[in-house]
Amino acid sequence: MSESLRRRVYRGLLRLHPEEFRREFGEEMLWIFDEISATKRTAPLFADAVGSLARQWLLRGNAGRLGAEELEQPVLRVAAGPFAGEHILVPEKPLSPGRLLQGSVVAAVFLATLAFGAARPVTPSAVLAGGGQAPADGIEPGILGRVKSGVGGGVSGGVEGGVAGGVQRGVDGGVSGGVSEGVPGGVNAEAPAGELTVVAGQEGAKAAAGPAERQFTAWLVEFNEGDQAKFQEFLEKNYPEQAKRMDGIMGFRRMTGGFDLKKAEKSDATTFAGIVKERDSDTFARFEIEVEAAEPHRIVKLDLQQIPAPAEFALPRMSEEQAVAALRSEIERRVAADTFSGAVMVTKNGKTVFSGAYGLADREKKIKNELNTQFRIGSMNKMFTAVCALQLVQSGKLKLTGTVGEYLPDYPNKDVASKVTIHHLLTHTGGTGDFFGPEFDKHRLELKTLQDYVKLYGARGLAFEPGSKWDYSNYGFLLMGVIVQKVSGQDYYDYVRERVFVPAGMTATDSLPEEQAVPKRSVGYTKMGGETWKPNTDTLPYRGTSAGGGYSTVEDLQKFAEALRDHKLLNAQYTEMLTTGKVDTGPGAKYAYGFMDQMAGGVRSYGHGGGAPGMNGDLTIYPQSGYVVTVLANMDPPAAQRIANFIGNRLPEK
């Protein structure tokens, strides 16, 4: 029996109840039927309704009246037991033989009607256009995601580069739909009642879900329950390719907090698509699942791509006072849940409107985080490297159209040397790839200088034709640092310290080797690869590079933002060139030169994030309003980005 037919039968059953009962509880019982029928078997609901009917007609002495004084106020507990049995009290009065006979006739008529309805075939009108089928009993709703590597526009606060998104190797990259090396999109709990919106023309979708929707639905429930053994069993049966990546999948589930299904946009026999929202953040994503046409309809793929908040789900902006109060509550909630440890600072036109430090910089020594605690910042160093490059362009020493080979004539790979330009390096469009991977792990502590990286990776060829696409490249920014050294005639670290940190007044920012003591540098803590926090010491490079890995404070990063605004680092023309998007990376987002340029809800911002095991940071500058948001954490991503996005989505537009 289709869901729409079951609903009509159930509604008919409710109409057999006394009028007073229907007026008091009819809508609530029908609402509960709709909610539970989307996720669970409905047979108990029919049994419950029959019990309710019996109680109202058979056990009452006055069947035609049901006064409010005879009722216990109903409490809605959708996950609890039967509605009538738990929530409706009726007086214990003896019944006349006539009343018993009347109730028996009513019950017999209903049961005959129900049997007739169950025996009828499903009509074509109950089936989705495109070959949808009635849902199988016991299939519960779900959402499945596949996270692709990359940084742009990801879901759930990325890792290296901090541009919202998944995890590539758990260290670098970001989420831009799907999972790289097994860190897929996640879900944490069943969607709350009334969250789903069905697009026009698909009103019958829930009544006749096709195989793709049923698989999507079932996956979501298993993922939400978080039982790894059950989920593993489900994936081995329905999505074997993902079953190989359980550790990454469960890690991403913890990271995202799950998704609510907000809107179904497309549904046919083999495809189901729509919009979801992360439960632990304001992030929206568009998903699409494809399944095999033949039974048992195994999942072929499921993509998840971050999108700006749709207008119909847009968050209302707040006053500054309201936004700060909401931020304080959000931070306290996350600190209590042990999902944030770090420092936060929000300024407007250079004036601090909020600041605070939370958690421990060193858990073993019980040292607290402070505003001047130095946190590792991951890829946020790319902003500093890009400023250095544009300074050299501004002074005429470097050309954006110049090739790697023009500045590094001895570069080993001739394709990279002759085809990749400075513009390509600064925009991640050169095809130069990453340096994280087995080779990095093998030589991690031997890579002490930028040139050491070139010796290890310099012979490697292009991943794609330069300029043909965008693909986040740590090695590209490593090369940019080598070129800054060559063109300036200074060691990269000396140049960035002298030309960026000193003019901006950044006295607590650097990339000194890990073996060198830095008194205020926090210990990073990670859960990647386990369930408990542990120091990230074994994952750290010898020292940070031009691609990332240095350290800073929220105060210093605010000074950096002010120095950009006041043109202390570059003149107005080159500051605009630095921060204006050049290459599309996803809906509402473009990559500039070492900065992300984003538009969300009509509000523009630019900045950069960074992250790796045990570190996460984000700097976001809102040029229209003058707000600057800086968040640093000594925890896994997306600890800092969650906070940054939360306040950024609520601050006034101007």
Q: CA end-to-end span of the chain, whole Å?
A: 55
Least trusted range by pLDDT, from 59-68, 100-109, 622-631:
59-68
Average pLDDT over residues 73-102: 38
* End residue of a domain, out of 126, 152, 179: 126
pLDDT value, residue 133? 29
pLDDT value, residue 77? 27
pLDDT value, residue 31? 60
Same domain, 136 and 117: no
The CATH number that applies at residue 529 is: 3.40.710.10
pLDDT band at residue 100 using 50, 70 and 90 as cut-offs: low
> For residue 568, what are its two tokens?
């202390």
Same domain, 24 and 133: no
> For residue 123, what are its two tokens?
């009509």
Residues 6+ apart with CB under 8 A from 350: 562
pLDDT value, residue 623? 97
Same domain, 501 and 433: yes
pLDDT value, residue 3? 60
Same domain, 181 and 153: yes
pLDDT value, residue 152? 33
pLDDT at 22 over 80: no
* End residue of a domain, out of 126, 159, 185: 126
Same domain, 228 and 372: no
pLDDT band at residue 55 using 50, 70 and 90 as cut-offs: low
Same domain, 150 and 35: no
Least trusted range by pLDDT, from 60-74, 114-128, 479-493:
60-74
Average pLDDT over residues 461-470: 97
pLDDT value, residue 192? 35
pLDDT value, residue 153? 32
Has residue 502 been placed in a domain? yes
Same domain, 109 and 40: yes
What's the chain's average pLDDT?
Answer: 79
Has residue 384 been placed in a domain? yes
pLDDT value, residue 257? 80
pTM over the 0.75 mark: no
Least trusted range by pLDDT, from 142-156, 190-204, 436-450:
142-156
Same domain, 113 and 202: no
Has residue 337 been placed in a domain? no
pLDDT band at residue 135 using 50, 70 and 90 as cut-offs: very low
pLDDT value, residue 96? 56
Q: 């831009």: which residue's tokens?
A: 176
pLDDT at 585 over 90: yes
**Beta pairing class for 596-600 and 583-586:** unpaired
Tell me the per-residue pLDDT of 363-404, one tens digit each, with 9 for 90 and over: 999 999 999 999 999 999 999 999 999 999 999 999 999 999
Tell me the per-residue pLDDT of 589-600, one tens digit each, with 9 for 90 and over: 999 999 999 998
Q: Which amino acid is at 160?
A: E
Q: How many domains does the chain have?
A: 3
How many CA atoms within 13 Å lie on the side-chain side of 448? 4
Has residue 214 been placed in a domain? yes
For 338-397, give the secondary structure using H, E and C: CCCCEEEEEEECCEEEEEEEECEEECCCCEECCCCCEEECHHHHHHHHHHHHHHHHHCCC
Q: 């006349």: which residue's tokens?
A: 96
What SS3 state is found at 505? Answer: coil
> For residue 31, what are its two tokens?
């609402």
Same domain, 112 and 134: no
Average pLDDT over residues 290-312: 91
Least trusted range by pLDDT, from 84-93, 280-289, 544-553, 554-563:
84-93
pLDDT band at residue 580 using 50, 70 and 90 as cut-offs: very high
Q: 């606060």: which residue's tokens?
A: 157
pLDDT band at residue 559 using 50, 70 and 90 as cut-offs: very high
pLDDT at 68 over 50: no
Same domain, 53 and 149: no
What is the residue-wise DSSP string for 132-160?
--PPPTT--------BPS-STT-SS--ST
φ and ψ at residue 346, rounded to 5 degrees: -125, 125
Has residue 16 been placed in a domain? yes
Has residue 108 been placed in a domain? yes
Give the whole-angstrom CA distance, residue 134 versus residue 246. Answer: 31
pLDDT value, residue 107? 59
Has residue 324 been placed in a domain? no
H or E segment at 326? Answer: helix 320-336
For 164, the domain range is: 127-314
Has residue 342 been placed in a domain? no
* End residue of a domain, out of 101, 126, 151: 126
- Omega before 296 within 30 of 0, i.e. cis: yes
pLDDT value, residue 220? 84
Same domain, 121 and 132: no
**Neighbouring-strand partners of residue 600:** 603
Same domain, 286 and 362: no
> For residue 387, what are its two tokens?
């400023």
